[in-house]
Amino acid sequence: MEMETNRSLEALAVTLERLAGAASALEQTVVRLEEQQGVLTGQVQKIVATVEQGGEMSADSRVAELERKLHEAEMQIASLQAAHGKAQVAAGQASAAPGRKTVSSATMTLLAKQGIANLDSIEAGALDAALGSLSMEQRIAVKSQLFRAGLLS
């Protein structure tokens, strides 16, 4: 019986050593988990602080600010349009069609081949003769280009 008791005591001692090792491993794991939690908590606090800094202006105040800027821009456009209209009247250009005085190079080449080099005074007969070889759509396109350029009335 004494042997049996010795064996039981030895088995108990081995089990106690294993339990002590497991407890030590658990303590180390708890320490590592606490460190990780501290790091994660610090990161979350930084994110929260960043989010809180972004929400300085409420949506209503932002809308009001944008409406104010829109109104200012509309007023400025109206004043510029009024000033532009006054400048045209003063220069005697109010009734003249605004536009560029340039024509595409293809149109210039076509007109030059027909003997129309000076675009300041295009006669209707000369223009019709120059465009006679073109299709109806092409004639309309050339005449509309000349009209947009302000060379036809």
Answer whether residue 100 is part of any domain. no
122 with 151: CB under 8 angstroms?
yes
Indicate if 65 and 38 belong to the same structural domain.
no
Answer whether residue 153 is part of any domain. no
Answer whether residue 98 is part of any domain. no
> For residue range 34-60, what is the model confidence (pLDDT) as tens digits?
888 877 776 655 566 555 545 566 777
Answer whether residue 99 is part of any domain. no
Phi, psi of 146 (to 5 degrees): -65, -35
pLDDT value of position 20: 92
Q: Rounded to whole angstroms, how far apart are CA atoms 35 and 139?
A: 84
Residue that is written with structure tokens 């510029």 in the block? 80
Indicate if 3 and 48 belong to the same structural domain.
yes
Confidence tier at 30 by pLDDT (50, 70, 90): very high
Indicate if 22 and 64 belong to the same structural domain.
no
Query: Mind giving me the DSSP string for 4-44?
Result: HHHHHHHHHHHHHHHHHHHHHHHHHHHHHHHHHHHHHHHHH
Indicate if 8 and 52 belong to the same structural domain.
yes
Answer whether residue 97 is part of any domain. no
Indicate if 40 and 11 belong to the same structural domain.
yes
> For residue range 75-133, what is the model confidence (pLDDT) as tens digits?
888 888 888 777 666 655 544 445 556 777 777 777 777 777 776 667 777 777 777 88
Indicate if 81 and 125 belong to the same structural domain.
no
151 with 101: CB under 8 angstroms?
yes
Q: How many domains does the chain have?
A: 3
Structural domain containing residue 128: 105-148
Q: Rounded to whole angstroms, how far apart are CA atoms 105 and 145?
A: 11
Confidence tier at 25 by pLDDT (50, 70, 90): very high
Residue that is written with structure tokens 């003997």 in the block? 115
Indicate if 64 and 46 belong to the same structural domain.
no
